[in-house]
A and B are shown apart, each in its own frame.
Chain A
Amino acid sequence: MTYAPKGAPKEKLKESSRQIANIIDLNKCMGCQSCTQACKNLWTDRPGTEHMRWMNVTTFPGKGYPRDYEKMGGGFDKDGTPTPGALTNTSDVGDNFQFNHADVYYAGKGQSVHLKPSSALTGDEPQWGYNWDEDEGGGDWPNGYYFYLPRKCYHCTDAPCIDACTHNALFKRDQDGIVVLDQDRCNGDRLCIEACPYKAIYYNPVTTKSEKCVMCFPRVEQGIAPACDRQCPGRTRLAGYMDDEDSDMYKLIVKHKVALPLHPEFGTEPNVFYIPPFDSTKAFAEDGSITDDGRIEISVLEDLFGPDVGDVVRKLQSERKKRQNNEPSEIMDLLIGRNFWDRFSELTGDPAELDSFSTTAMSDGSNLG
């Protein structure tokens, strides 16, 4: 279902007839933040949402966004037992830097005062912020490496946020499995944030309620891909429904099994999948010669994508080799995505033709189900 009464069983809230999903190809993401901007402009330009990036891209290895989210707990353990985690603070979620624009631009001090940020919370020089560790990466010289890791709400099949909320404010929409947070029911208790292992829910101190990615459901309802997917200039994104066996996304996830969830050990069955980096820069040997090995250890990728990632990487390398030898490879064709529209299956509508929509859907639930 969907919009169940308060006190209704959690299983009811997690039911959906269909499930929307995404693939993000980490080999193609260049960290341009177009997805972040698309989301920010569309959804989090209201008072109290300044710090929120429902869609975000950070450098891996790195602390991620929110900062150290992987260490904050949440989700379920191996036995399916809920494991409440920590809450994010303003600094963790990137702050809301203020700048001395008045001094620099309007006070005649342009030659002596430089533009500098200050924390919205403390007024002090920021000690952390969104993408603070951009491009720092990891690995030992001369074999340093990094890649970009775009993240958003994973609209999990077994969403712990739904379990956590005592008022059933969170639920999956029947028609697409998008997890939404009813603003009328939310009491701002933030149990959902403690429960989410990806820390993809954010507290709005102005409304005193929590908010999250809505997978652009007003667009999805009209056959238009979410803004983050649509705006990606690198064609890293695929979107569609998990029951659409003809979709490129389905083929990569189910038929070829080369797209994997992030941190499957969190036990939430996420619905955003990743094509792991499979062709990292070749590593130097100790004598300075170039080896055939990539710089990213498989164990590093296993920590992110689980035990199957080694097989996936080898499969992708093998498929790429086929194309280099002019042999056919459906997987490589799907990943290249020559036709812009093929990546979006049913969601190829034009956002310029989007009917106006009302965000009352977020507040009273009346047209959510």
Chain B
Amino acid sequence: MKINRVNANAETLLDPTAGVWTGAAAQQFAMVPTPLNGNPAIKAISPFIERSTDHGKINQLSAAGVHNGTDVALRLSWVCEKNSEIVDLDQFVDGVAVMFPLAVTASAVTMGSKGAPVNAWYWKANTPEAGFDVVAEGYGTSERRPGADTELTCQAMHDGTSWHVVFRRPMDRGNHYTQFNAGNPHKVAFGVWDGGNRERSGRKSFSGEFVLVEVEA
């Protein structure tokens, strides 16, 4: 995957319909159900969710990235009916997350580990403009921080068949968050939740282990 350098202001980067996304090379990621069933590490944090079997309905995600030297933005698209409100008590909303390692040895599959944390940006359809910044050191340890703390901003639109969600954040937010340096390689992984399939928590589909992402100089 490649995050292209563009000449556009921060407001434009955040707009999922902006022209900058037409030129950005989107990469298709095959999404698979998270391995819950029979996973001892999952069983330890919830022997109930370990028995989940019908999750991971979304099987493809399209991701594109751009930056303007100051701000970086990622645009994620996937085909899904719109589930953006919790009207009844048994309903869930759609969501998407992009994860980065905060340590060289951090694994996306385990959501990091003690001493090797991961950082994620998380968007939920019922709070469409407020992303969450998440840090985790293994399953069940994720801590959400308001996106505003890191100037993480989201904008989303559903075009009738697909969600298009843009995350935008300053490239440099210090050592405790993912830092983007133009010209250096980075790593990324994705997760997506289909609210209509009662997906939340570990019930989701994900892209597997981290893949390299190039940030254009």
Contact = CB atoms under 8 A, between A and B. Distances in A.
Interface of A: 6-7, 9-10, 51, 82-84, 86-90, 93, 121, 160, 163-168, 187-191, 194-195, 202-203, 205, 208
Contacts of A89: 88-90
Interface of B: 44-52, 86-90, 126, 138-144, 198, 200-202
A166 B47 contact: no
Nearest to B47: A82
Contacts of A7: 45, 138-141
B88 A163 contact: no
A181 to B, nearest CB: 15
A164 B43 CA distance: 9
A160 B50 CA distance: 13
B89 A93 contact: yes
B89 A164 contact: no
B45 A166 contact: yes
Contacts of B87: 121
A60 to B, nearest CB: 24
B201 A191 contact: yes
Contacts of B144: 187
B49 A164 contact: yes
A247 B47 CA distance: 36
Contacts of B142: 6, 167
B192 to A, nearest CB: 16
A166 B89 contact: no
A102 B138 CA distance: 54
Contacts of A87: 89-90, 198
Given A90-B88, A205-B89, A84 B44 contact: no
B138 A187 contact: no
B90 A166 contact: no
Contact of B51 (A84, A165, A188, A189): A84
B48 A82 contact: yes
Given A7-B138, A166-B140, A121 B88 contact: yes
A264 B181 CA distance: 59
B42 to A, nearest CB: 8
A129 to B, nearest CB: 15
A19 to B, nearest CB: 23
Given A90-B89, A163-B46, A195-B48, A168 B201 contact: no
28 contacts: A6-B140, A6-B143, A7-B138, A7-B140, A10-B44, A51-B89, A82-B48, A82-B50, A84-B48, A84-B51, A87-B90, A89-B89, A163-B47, A164-B47, A166-B49, A166-B140, A166-B202, A168-B45, A168-B140, A187-B144, A189-B200, A190-B90, A190-B200, A194-B48, A195-B48, A203-B89, A205-B89, A208-B126
Contacts of B201: 166, 187, 189, 191
B46 to A, nearest CB: 5
Contacts of A10: 44, 47
A114 B46 CA distance: 50
Nearest to B44: A9
Nearest to A160: B48
Contact of B90 (A88, A163, A167, A187): A88
B44 A205 contact: no
B46 A165 contact: yes
- Most B CB within 10 A of own CB, among A51, A83, A165: A165
A191 B89 contact: no
- Most A CB within 10 A of own CB, among B51, B88, B89, B138: B89
B128 to A, nearest CB: 14
Nearest to A164: B48
A194 B126 CA distance: 22
Nearest to A161: B48
Nearest to A66: B89
Contacts of A84: 48-49, 51-52
Given A90-B88, A121-B88, A6 B141 contact: yes
